[in-house]
Chain A
Amino acid sequence: MKPAASRRGAAAARRRGLWIGFLLAPALLVMTLFVAWPLASAFRYAFYAFNGLAASHFIGLENFRAVLFEPPYSAWTLRALAHNAIVFVALMLVQNGLAYLIAFALLKALPGHRVHQVIVFLPVVLSAVIVGFLWKLFLHPLFGLVNQALMAVGLAAHPWLGDGNTALGSIIFTNAWHWMGFPALIFLAAMQRVPREVMEAARIDGATDRALLGAIIWPLVAPATTIIFTLTFIGSFNWFELPYVMAGLDGSPGGATDVLGLYFYRTAFGSTSAGLQDFGHGSALAVLMFIFLAVVSGLALRVLRRREIEL
């Protein structure tokens, strides 16, 4: 290459680099200010004692010890973690399991499948706050639609969100109603990518719907399952909006719906009519949640990727 051309090339590359830098800068600035900086602050605060609302001195791992091993915090942390785990398992089975079946039904392109596709996905576009508020009204013990319907058919009304045995389940159900369209759509897209000849060959060999779903489609939609598993895992352990709207910051009744998100928020920022702002313990909880999510998601991704098949 001639030196002049080479210089022109270098100048062009520099211009291009500048452009990329210029375009990236605003996003980088926003991310640094509102994501990286708060994360770093939370990490730092987790190692500090607080004098009221101001950080006072470095105390090492004391905040972590308190939230993990000192009662009543340890019991609350464990309870919240257990509830998150229940939410995750229930959503994987109910929400994503049903989504898988619905996706298969939609794949069959039965009459009206396009309308149903829209109907299934419609709740996903609503905000979690609206959905939570709506279902809180539906489940209201006195005026709620659910109890009115139960009473109309001669069944007893029930305080769904007020009973410790049904409160968490009711919120999980609401989450499934709200969010099922999303995994259904991902599964449907993955199923549509399965080569037609594979399905037809299976059919010719006499495969039933059940066999098709279990032995043919399931392994072939593994990449979609990986995404859905990871998103459900992160969503379940970061669960906040729905329990906040439907059960309040305290995880009513009596902590039956308390999850890590609520527990962290309540600890760090205080509940106006009950608790105090405790940035030290709150930051320790946030850091633990971050580490737990990052490690488990990373491991799960590795394991799940291994079972993905390329056709």
Chain B
Amino acid sequence: MISARIGKLALAATAAWGMAFSAAHAADITFWTWRQEDKAAYTELFGDFTKANPDIHVKIEAFDPANYATILSTALAAGHGGDVLHTRAYGALETFAKAGYLLALDPKAVPELANLPADALASETLRADGKVYSLSFASQTLGVFINKDVFAKAGVQPPATWDAFLAACKALKAKGVIPLANGTATAWMDEVMASVFINPFLGPQFVADIQSGKASFEDKRYTAALGRLLELRDYMPPGFTGVDYATSQQLFLTGRAAMFAGGSFEIANFRKQNPKLNMDFIAPPAPSAGAPRYVSKFYDGGYAVNAKSAHQADALKLVRYMGTPAYGTKFAALLGNISPIKGVVINDPLLAEVAKLNETSMPYIMAVYFRFDSPTGSELLQSGLQKMMGGSATPEQVGADITKGVSRYYKPFQK
């Protein structure tokens, strides 16, 4: 009697599970991402997509950012993984595309690729075959965050030149404020900070010379620009070599520090953590009055289609939708990021300022050109910067180490 009842229950449960499973999977595609904090925004964005495509439902699976690449590569190697994938750009994209894990996006099948600027397309292109494998989702801009209230209280104006910057730092320090929140304990943030301050000294000509092989990182322009960073040490937090990224953020958010050299990717997070923060995002100081104040720009990553997806047509539909100005406009509004799609309307005043700063931008050099092979330029620079700021290496040694390291694969330096 009891066993018959258990049997019936088991049968009913199995049938219900089977029905639920088939219902859930009839037209479900999955989106894999490392942006756990953006899940709500993506749910809303994909809701719009499903309204227009009632047969396709998108399930979001978000993973730990630090392990995302490992999780994704393991899944793809086994022939699994999401149908649509959040991918990184440049070299990190190439490792996936080269392995054949991603579907090449044909401009005929994804005409929305025409909505993207050339540098965005380049960031998602496999250099070996010239094909685009992912649709860029955001550009990031590196510059200087300033706490307007702290500046006003100290009676200091936001600086436009390097000398004015140092003078402002001195004045802020005299008022008991930490001028620059950045520490150097988190290696990748050192590269961000360095790029913010040295790019205006380098200028686009240096980038062109690096690409042609006319200059290396031992070039006087580069080492002199690195040397400028040493002048900032007096204005960074006490014990800055032990101050990590999280602490730097908190110093700025709580008003203990007046400035933070960082990326536009911080805007949404800063607002969330301290909605009352009266902040601005400005271009880094120019080497001299009237010289261009270049911000550094790079693309974060894109949306790609799994080459082994069983729902490729639906996945492509989703990627096409994510390349439309309507999507880009809502994406920018919900996530506080700059969508690179042409025709996107940015209503947020701070983001609009960032978009304006992008008109005078330079590439974030190591990420854009030197993260395709090992050892990457970023690995060498980040480690070198920590040593240099800690006093155990000179700018010349850092420049020489980077040049020697990347010469292993970078043809222009092998001449």
Which residues from chain A sit less than 8 Å from chain B, CB to CB?
51-54, 70-73, 139-142, 147, 157-164, 248, 250, 252-255, 267, 269-278, 281
Quick one: which of B73, B88, B92, B383 contacts A254, CB cutoff 8 A?
Answer: B383
Interface with A: B142-150, B165-173, B183-191, B319-327, which one?
B183-191
Residues of B within 8 A of A157 (CB): 238-239
Knowing A51-B99, A253-B387, A255-B383, the reply to whether A164 touches B238 (Cβ < 8 A) is no
Q: Once the chains bind, are A163 and B390 in contact (CB under 8 Å)?
A: yes
B139 at the interface (CB under 8 A from A): no
Quick one: which of A54, A139, A252, A273 contacts B378, CB cutoff 8 A?
Answer: A273
Which residue of chain A has its CB nearest to the CB of B371? Answer: A276
- Whole-angstrom distance between the Cβ of A163 and the nearest chain B Cβ: 6
- Whole-angstrom distance between the Cβ of B167 and the nearest chain A Cβ: 25
Which residue of chain B has its CB nearest to the CB of A160? Answer: B242
A164 to B76, CA, bound (A): 39
- Whole-angstrom distance between the Cβ of B241 and the nearest chain A Cβ: 3
Q: Once the chains bind, are B374 and A276 in contact (CB under 8 Å)?
A: yes
Residues of B within 8 A of A275 (CB): 371, 374-376, 378-379
What are the 5 tightest A-B residue pairs by CB atom distance, in nearest-first order? A141-B239, A162-B242, A159-B242, A52-B98, A162-B241
Q: Once the chains bind, are A254 and B390 in contact (CB under 8 Å)?
A: yes
Q: Once the chains bind, are B70 and A269 in contact (CB under 8 Å)?
A: yes
B386 at the interface (CB under 8 A from A): yes
Q: Once the chains bind, are A162 and B99 in contact (CB under 8 Å)?
A: no
B393 at the interface (CB under 8 A from A): yes
A73 to B386, CA, bound (A): 19
Residues of B within 8 A of A270 (CB): 69-70, 92
Quick one: which of A162, A253, A255, A269 contacts B69, CB cutoff 8 A?
Answer: A269
A253 to B191, CA, bound (A): 13
Which residue of chain A has its CB nearest to the CB of B97? Answer: A52
Residues of A within 8 A of B240 (CB): 141, 159, 162
Which residue of chain B has its CB nearest to the CB of A255? Answer: B383
Over the window 233-269 of chain B, the binary record of Cβ atoms lying under 8 Å from chain A Cβ atoms (1 yes, 0 no) is 0000111111100010000000000000000000000
Which residue of chain A has its CB nearest to the CB of B378? Answer: A274
Q: Once the chains bind, are B241 and A163 in contact (CB under 8 Å)?
A: yes
A235 to B222, CA, bound (A): 42
Residues of B within 8 A of A142 (CB): 237-239, 243, 247
B157 at the interface (CB under 8 A from A): no
A278 to B374, CA, bound (A): 8
Knowing A72-B404, A248-B186, the reply to whether A161 touches B383 (Cβ < 8 A) is no
Q: Once the chains bind, are A276 and B91 in contact (CB under 8 Å)?
A: yes
Q: Once the chains bind, are A253 and B386 in contact (CB under 8 Å)?
A: yes
Q: Once the chains bind, are B241 and A274 in contact (CB under 8 Å)?
A: no
- Whole-angstrom distance between the Cβ of B162 and the nearest chain A Cβ: 25
Which residue of chain A has its CB nearest to the CB of B186? Answer: A248
A250 to B185, CA, bound (A): 10
- Whole-angstrom distance between the Cβ of B74 and the nearest chain A Cβ: 9
B96 at the interface (CB under 8 A from A): yes
Quick one: which of B99, B184, B185, B380 contacts A53, CB cutoff 8 A?
Answer: B99
Which residue of chain A has its CB nearest to the CB of B372? Answer: A276
A247 to B319, CA, bound (A): 39
Which residue of chain B has its CB nearest to the CB of A76? Answer: B375
Residues of A within 8 A of B281 (CB): none
Q: Once the chains bind, are A162 and B95 in contact (CB under 8 Å)?
A: no
**B352-397, CB < 8 A from A:** 371-376, 378-380, 382-384, 386-387, 390, 392-393
Residues of B within 8 A of A267 (CB): 374
Can you add 9 more A-B contacts, CB < 8 Å, to A275-B379, A277-B73?
A51-B98, A72-B405, A161-B185, A250-B379, A252-B186, A252-B187, A253-B386, A274-B379, A276-B371
B83 at the interface (CB under 8 A from A): no
Quick one: which of A53, A252, A273, A281 contacts B95, CB cutoff 8 A?
Answer: A53
B66 at the interface (CB under 8 A from A): yes
